[in-house]
Structure 1
Amino acid sequence: MQQSEVCGSPCVLLLEPFYGGSHKQLIDLLKENIPSCSVFTLPAKKWHWRARTSALFFSQTVPTCSSYRVLFSSSVLNLCELVSLRPDLARLKKVLYFHENQLVYPVRKSQDRDFQYGYNEVLSCLVSDVVVFNSHFNMDSFLSSILPFMKKIPDHRPKDLAQQIRPKCVVMNYPVQFPDVSSLLPEHKRTRHPCSGKTSEDDDIIRKWGRQSQDDDVIRQSSLLRPPCGSKTIETPVREVASAAQVKPLHIVWPHRWEHDKNPELFFNTLLRLKEKLLDFHVSVLGETFTDVPEIFSLARVSLDSNILNWGFLPSKDHYLQVLCDADVVVSTAKHEFFGVAMLEAVHCGCFPLCPKALVYPEIFPEQYLYSTPEQLCKRLQELCRRPDLARKHITMVDTSLYSWTSLKTQFQSLLTSDGP
């Protein structure tokens, strides 16, 4: 366990049972920017055990402190269990932050879903004073799933839980600390400028993608080893572009956790289809790995060997940012995403995004960056492989500053005061 105490009398108690990834980044941001914080964390290992047992552990390790006014924790913690074991903490303003929710976590079979994790989240909401979600999708999917989730109880079911929880709920986007990457950007990214209202043929091509995605609002996630991918490409003029932007192969980056819920099967099998069509591209597969790495990664490592530029987690943040700055396109194939820090970081570094038209993505990304089917993803990557300049010249229409710590700092400061929302 890591413990960080402030000098004097701490007012804010920060608890994080799974101190890794975006959970760690948020706690670190709050610790650095909110005065009088006391922090207790557990390593980001064995998530299931953290969700089951961290409340009892924290109940024994967090010292009694009369100056505490606010308790902040992610939803991994069973807050109901903690405050029942520690009545002194029950009197605090209790803030529960949902990075994700277990009611809609994708499982291969419904019987594989462990009821207790979602049930604990509902209980934690009931004892919280403020329930914060990082996106509207996260909040809406959680609240709308409570009733069907509770129907799994065979009899004597509790009632009106969503109605009790909803008034406590607020949406506060995850605050990303975007670094200054201007010195890392290649020349073509540094010199991109908006067209002052003028549109180009390339812009029209990309807008056309947005209209195509509107034709199919229901995304079909394929579990096949090789999802269908039509050979017919979008009919657009292909012309020679005598510039460096067209010479280098398209660089695709996939910066996500190496887990099944990020749907690596769809990503890699799409790349294999591109390779079969003799399309030239490079790929960087980044992201953290945990205990159980899907088999597709070892297969793809061999099949795509000649295309790979970077493979695996990059412990240096500077190296990670450099790869994002060097890349052209960032792809998400997620089946489980409630915000998507990695996608926004990549866009901040000048990458062209391709995301599912599902989950949180329509809340953040305009239509032209969304695909509705595996076929659409494959076709768009085909076009970009043939025309890398489409991505390299395009200015992505996403204002990442809206999700920055600078923009959201005041909201979090208010949240972590005893008289805040």
Structure 2
Amino acid sequence: MPKTLALRQPRILLLSAYDAGSHRCWRKQLVLSQPEFEWHVLALSPRFFRWRIRGNALTWLSEPLLKEHWDLLLVTSMVDLASVRGFHPNLAHTPALLYMHENQFAYPASDGQHNSIDPQMVNLYSAIAADTVLFNSDWNRRSFLEGVEQLFRRLPDGIPEGTLELISAKSRVLPVPIDDPVFLSEAERQSLEAGERLWRNGLEPEPGALPLRIVWAARWEYDKGPDRLLAILQELERRALSFQVCVLGESFRKVPEAMTTIQQQFAHRLVQFGYASSRSEYYEWLGSADVILSTALHEFQGLAVLEAVAAGCVPIVPAREVYPELFAPEYLYPDCGDDIPAEAAHAATLIEKQAVDGHGDRLTVPGVQRFSLGALKPKYEALLLEALF
């Protein structure tokens, strides 16, 4: 251990170039959970994506903090680490960790996006420049390395031998933790009176068996599969299943057409349609639901689903992206590609089994304690110390 570090807290500079909700929550949780280090943060607002990922090093060109001495740099996947180090020679030999919440090689492009290789190249250059590359899931790691390999095959020449192997050798998986209070016992779930009031939505419950409570929690964007959610709800309605649905998540100026249709067609099923009023209310929805449904086409860790499972929901998720590494096959419905009706039918069959009066064996809530902050905090600390010393 360097003598200077033995006498003081190690200084870590954390850079977040596109400080969206998940990135912001992760960095705040990390700083709070690791008080042994002296943290400083530079974060840019999550807008103008193409400019942020390509121009963050330029935005920070005259940033005083980057002129200081640091013991460690910790940067998110949107940061152009190669340029940051190039613009600030004093940081050239400072150890650097790159945390990949996502990678641009596996991010599905929408029809409205301008096709550009720049975001992928920023990810690639940062991975080469970093001492260690951390991924929130093995799916994220594998899809990144596969994407880099495919890119190298397309480039005409000049690819240094062993580059892919170099990145692979310094890559590790370290998930974003779930806050410990999210985990609820069955007794705690039963005592959530606030959650019960939310699902009643001001109405007295009908006599007989309670309807199945389904939560869908994701950004209202194309890559989260809102058209697939609509198809599943229509299939459940066709099967005359008694259910309620809570649609959570952040919406933007352009709302997918499927979401508008859901609001119109399923007003009699919807108990919530939009962002929860607070984080505590969000967890109340999760803690009083039966099923967490995902229709995602893109999911690097599935944190919203993992939080819902921690709160006691049974996951019903597609057999694609990260989900096969998180849950056993019985929780997965087949990925049917562009055949949305077929996929909806498979998902509806799984959901139907969870109904009180359904047929077949009901699934139990799988364990996700390995993703808790309590379980992952010492792993983060050990990795930070390893990078420093």
For normalisation by structure 2, the TM-score amounts to 0.84
Provide the secondary structure at the position in 1 that maps to 2:27.
helix
Q: Which runs of 5+ in 1 are unaligned?
A: 1-7, 190-243
Instruction: Give the letter for the 2:248 counterpart.
Output: L
Q: Report the alpha carbon displacement of residue 388 of structure 1 after superposing the two structures with TM.
A: 6.0
Q: Report the alpha carbon displacement of residue 20 of structure 1 after superposing the two structures with TM.
A: 2.6
Shift in alpha-carbon separation, 1:318–1:419, aligned structure 2, 3 A? closer
Provide the secondary structure at the position in 2 that maps to 1:416.
helix
Which residue of 1 is the match for residue 19 of structure 2? 19
Is 1:88 equivalent to 2:90 in the alignment?
Answer: yes
Show the 5 A alignment for 1:209-288.
247-288=209-250
Counterparts of 1:386 and 1:33, CA distance in 2: 40
Instruction: Give the letter for the 2:223 counterpart.
Output: D
Counterparts of 2:75 and 2:208, CA distance in 1: 48
118-127 or 159-168, which moves further after superposition? 159-168
Instruction: Give the letter for the 2:33 counterpart.
Output: N
The match for 1:366 among 328, 341, 344 is 328
Counterparts of 1:245 and 1:344, CA distance in 2: 32
Counterparts of 1:258 and 1:285, CA distance in 2: 10
Which residue of 1 is the match for residue 190 of structure 2? 186
1:140-185 Cα distance to aligned partner (Å, 9 max, x none): 1111221212334355555543112111111112222131545862
Q: Report the alpha carbon displacement of residue 33 of structure 1 after superposing the two structures with TM.
A: 2.4
Which residue of 2 is the match for residue 378 of structure 1? 348
Contact 2:75 2:98 in 1 (8 A): yes
Q: Which runs of 5+ in 2 are unaligned?
A: 1-7, 194-205, 336-342
Counterparts of 2:51 and 2:248, CA distance in 1: 26
Provide the secondary structure at the position in 2 that maps to 1:91.
coil
Identity of aligned residues (%): 30
Show the 5 A alignment for 1:59-138.
59-64=61-66, 66-107=68-109, 113-138=115-140
Is 1:410 equivalent to 2:372 in the alignment?
Answer: no
Provide the secondary structure at the position in 1 that maps to 2:61.
helix
For normalisation by structure 1, the TM-score amounts to 0.78
Is 1:306 equivalent to 2:268 in the alignment?
Answer: yes
Contact 1:14 1:73 in 2 (8 A): yes
Provide the secondary structure at the position in 2 that maps to 1:350.
coil
Provide the secondary structure at the position in 2 that maps to 1:170.
strand
Which residue of 2 is the match for residue 141 of structure 1? 143
Q: Report the alpha carbon displacement of residue 346 of structure 1 after superposing the two structures with TM.
A: 0.5
1:200-240 Cα distance to aligned partner (Å, 9 max, x none): xxxxxxxxxxxxxxxxxxxxxxxxxxxxxxxxxxxxxxxxx
Paired residues in the alignment total 358
Provide the secondary structure at the position in 2 that maps to 1:337.
coil
Provide the secondary structure at the position in 2 that maps to 1:306.
coil
Is 1:397 equivalent to 2:359 in the alignment?
Answer: no
Which residue of 2 is the match for residue 345 of structure 1? 307
The match for 1:326 among 274, 280, 288 is 288
Shift in alpha-carbon separation, 1:78–1:188, aligned structure 2, 3 A? closer
Counterparts of 2:320 and 2:370, CA distance in 1: 21
Contact 1:249 1:388 in 2 (8 A): no
Contact 1:103 1:142 in 2 (8 A): yes
Which residue of 2 is the match for residue 214 of structure 1? none
Contact 2:180 2:374 in 1 (8 A): no
Instruction: Give the letter for the 2:377 counterpart.
Output: K
Instruction: Give the letter for the 1:175 counterpart.
Output: P
Counterparts of 1:384 and 1:315, CA distance in 2: 28
Shift in alpha-carbon separation, 1:21–1:356, aligned structure 2, 3 A? same
Which residue of 2 is the match for residue 31 of structure 1? 31
Counterparts of 1:382 and 1:81, CA distance in 2: 52
Is 1:387 equivalent to 2:357 in the alignment?
Answer: yes
Counterparts of 1:388 and 1:322, CA distance in 2: 25
70-79 or 105-114, which moves further after superposition? 105-114
Provide the secondary structure at the position in 2 that maps to 1:19.
coil
Q: Report the alpha carbon displacement of residue 109 of structure 1 after superposing the two structures with TM.
A: 6.8
1:364-398 Cα distance to aligned partner (Å, 9 max, x none): 1111111114131122223434636989x753122
Counterparts of 2:44 and 2:215, CA distance in 1: 30
Which residue of 2 is the match for residue 48 of structure 1? 50
Counterparts of 2:153 and 2:67, CA distance in 1: 40
Instruction: Give the letter for the 2:370 counterpart.
Output: L
Instruction: Give the letter for the 2:14 counterpart.
Output: L
Contact 1:178 1:345 in 2 (8 A): no
